[in-house]
Chains A and B, each alone.
Chain A
């Protein structure tokens, strides 16, 4: 018969046994938890920290832009067009309509970040849902979902984004929709593969043996393990998204003038590359810097998440 298990029934000397196969660390260190570990490692990565700081700075500027721009980003002056960098009034020059570049770049950060990050965020939620479901349930549902996703994979992402945008028309909302459609299949695929890998693990079997329902197992045991890798993958997509989103505006398919957005600014400044090449290139520099920052941060995050055995 089974006896009730209580601390009082401990017959063995806990000290003898645990000393025999002692863990490598001698001192008692309180455990940090998984994300605690990740944070701990991330903080010690100078490159990732630098990139993160830069991203934070840009986000801050984007949020505070309407209040901190030195001049009105919409107000132009035909007399003061295309001033060069280092001008007394316009430190980073002025654009083809005489608007101050610093102000437009700052305000442009808002839209550029928004149309870059939002699709990835939405795609993360939708793609993860699809992929985790397909991965966990398996069988015919998996086949149907993944084959449908494969059809979208048959298109190179740029082509799909532009085709969708072209079909839907210009505008911020349409750009976000088309970019989301591009990223959902990619994230879903990663989510499915990660979940399928986890589903076969022994600890999921052990969880089944405890009598838990599939939903409970999914929520408690699976989710925590798959969200991490999917999230890291998603962060690596942000830079691609930003480049594509500004690319759409560059083609005239995204943001419409006179809204400042880095890609759109590159488009409108194209005609000025002979007159004022440096200013014409400035918006691209911004895209480039933010894009690199996201990539470096994503790399650092991935490195920090590898569990060393």
Chain B
């Protein structure tokens, strides 16, 4: 098992480097000068050159990459051009907020997804199955940012039960787990949970239906095992894949939260990304993308290892 983990780590390293390279190149794709957002329009060539040197933009690209990589590995993600604060700090705060949102959304999605999935898988082709399937198609087809808007319209604008935007009553960038802040979490989390619900429901439905169709289930029943016992077996068999999907969904939500966070002005990485793009704040953009992508890579690794640990059929060699 340990060897498997080591092997996966070895495998992940070139991918991680590739990711960092893509992140680096991404922002250098950008047409237009990175500094144009910071410099006044009538800046002299001298000033421009000075700024370029200060930010290191005057060196050849591969050298810039290596310098940047060196800094990154030492925990220095550069300084935001717009705010002047270290990128790492900004991103860390934002990541925590996004994580909170994504985790809650994933848990909701997993709960309801497995519920629907199990119901549908157990009662194939019944009304319940159709309903569950319909719900999961709904989940993957709905534009979640639109759903967010609709929920805001219904619960905020019309009914006034829940606040429309922000993470806290004082508009702060930090979310604390107390009742006040909870109200702010509900709408964004529910909005975000719709897609994972749909995907998990679909997957679990297929899994459960497959497992129930297998001979060993018939054998268990023939031996006289009660339905709950069979259920436990089904859960054991479905668990590795279902959990793996949940892990991946967490990753997707974390990385893809920008749209929902924009609708709700939730101070997470997505929101930060949005700001960075429009302010053309390259260091911030680079830093945020890198952190998010790395999170995803690590998450994938964890999911892989967990799945191997849980599923005895996967070869550990």
Contact = CB atoms under 8 A, between A and B. Distances in A.
A–B contact with Cβ pairs below 8 Å: the answer is yes
Interface of A: 147-148, 150-152, 154-159, 162-164, 166-169, 239-240, 243, 246-247, 250-253, 263, 266, 270, 273-274, 277, 280-281, 283-284, 287-288, 291-292, 294-296, 299
Nearest to B295: A156
Contacts of B235: none
Most buried by B among A152, A156, A277, A281: A156
B149 A151 contact: no
Contacts of B285: 163, 166
Given A284-B143, A284-B149, 6 more contacts: A154-B300, A159-B293, A168-B31, A243-B141, A251-B277, A277-B153
Nearest to A250: B145
B29 A168 contact: yes
Chain B interface, >50% SS class = helix
A155 B145 contact: no
Given A251-B262, A266-B145, A154 B293 contact: yes
Interface string B40-70: 0000000000000000000000000000000
A296 B157 contact: no
B78 interface: no
Given A273-B153, A274-B157, A156 B18 contact: no
A292 B140 CA distance: 8
Contacts of A148: 18
Nearest to A283: B146
Contact of B137 (A150, A156, A295): A295
Contact of B30 (A150, A169, A253, A288): A169
Contact of A166 (B251, B277, B296): B277
A287 B251 CA distance: 25
30 contacts: A147-B15, A151-B15, A151-B21, A151-B22, A154-B18, A154-B300, A155-B255, A156-B251, A158-B255, A159-B292, A159-B293, A159-B296, A163-B289, A166-B276, A167-B30, A168-B29, A169-B30, A243-B141, A243-B144, A247-B143, A250-B262, A251-B262, A263-B143, A274-B157, A277-B157, A281-B146, A281-B153, A284-B149, A292-B137, A295-B141
B310 interface: no
B19 interface: yes
Given A156-B256, A169-B31, A266-B146, A288 B141 contact: yes
Q: How large is the interface on B (under 10, 10 to 19, 20 to 34, 35 or more residues)?
A: 35 or more
A297 B34 CA distance: 45
B142 A291 contact: yes
A288 B158 CA distance: 22
Nearest to B14: A147
A154 B303 CA distance: 13
Interface string B142-156: 111111011011000
Contacts of B32: 169
Interface string B291-305: 011001100100000
A150 B141 CA distance: 26
Contacts of B23: 163
A156 B142 contact: no
A107 B68 CA distance: 46
B306 interface: no
Interface string B4-42: 000000000011101101110011011110000000000
A241 to B, nearest CB: 12
Contacts of B296: 154-156, 159
Contacts of A270: 149
A150 B22 CA distance: 12
Nearest to B152: A273
B77 interface: no
B189 interface: no
Contacts of B14: 147
A173 to B, nearest CB: 12
A247 B260 CA distance: 10
Nearest to B255: A156
Given A155-B293, A277-B153, A284-B143, A162 B258 contact: yes
Contacts of A164: 26, 29
Contacts of A288: 141-143, 146
B39 to A, nearest CB: 19
A307 B143 CA distance: 33
A151 B25 CA distance: 13
Given A158-B259, A167-B29, A296 B137 contact: yes
A294 B14 CA distance: 37
B292 A151 contact: no
Interface in B272-286: 273-274, 276-278, 285
A284 B29 CA distance: 32
A274 B164 CA distance: 11
